[in-house]
Structure 1
Amino acid sequence: MEQRVDILTLATADLDAARRFYRDGLGWSPLLDVPDEIVFFQVAPRLVLGLFRADRFRADLGGTAAEPSLTGITLSHNVASPDAVDETVRAAVRAGARLVKPPQRADFGGYHGHVADPNGVIWEICHNPGWRVDPDGRVHLEEIPD
């Protein structure tokens, strides 16, 4: 696995308040805004911050996450294919990660699995067909229709 973080996802109890703060308070432009679910902001080349409604965050992890704390954040690593998701999740587990959610088709049209590192930090290993990065590092994130 390359040494990088692509998406920082934070669980938030009040998505509308978080959206207002980042968009209206800080003047950030959403990269993708899915009402009542999640909003993404590009925060650096190749780096996106996602604010995910807390109950949907827990559901996305298969209901296995406790109330948001350290588990209220997911670091995401995007790979080129579903096979690469499977391979990376297996490698992480072999290296001591705990399997949180086995790789599977995701609601957003991609494929993902979740592991927790030995400290409990949750990593999403993901193939997202709506994710594209230009040579200059600009991220394109598109919602994938059902």
Structure 2
Amino acid sequence: MSKLSYVNVFARDIEALSGFYQRVFDFPEVEAIRSPIFVGLDAGTCCIGFNAPDAYELLHLAEHADTSGCKFLLNIDVDSPAEVDRMVPIAVEAGATLIKPPYTTYYNWYQAVLMDPEGNVFRINHMM
């Protein structure tokens, strides 16, 4: 059976951006795979990798390095609606921008939509 192992994010500053997710969600670093152009965090059921811009060339993606706009959405699940409410100000204090305050979706999730310090979109969710 296949499984998702990593979601990788291209970041201008892998130290700062991985540090943001460590501070907000307490994800530990996977130190064994750290390199000058990569930092990985253990996010529970999969990992989040942060690639420096040098990785575009390494992966033969240099022609795509200047793409802009929202290209992905990280979803981070928490244990309760109260935990969503608790995490939002922590994320904002750490440098996130609140896009949509916590609300109940039509599919009965309680979530907030934010942008990290580099403008990547993420949600803090609780599936009710």
Q: TM-score, normalised by structure 1?
A: 0.43
Q: TM-score, normalised by structure 2?
A: 0.48
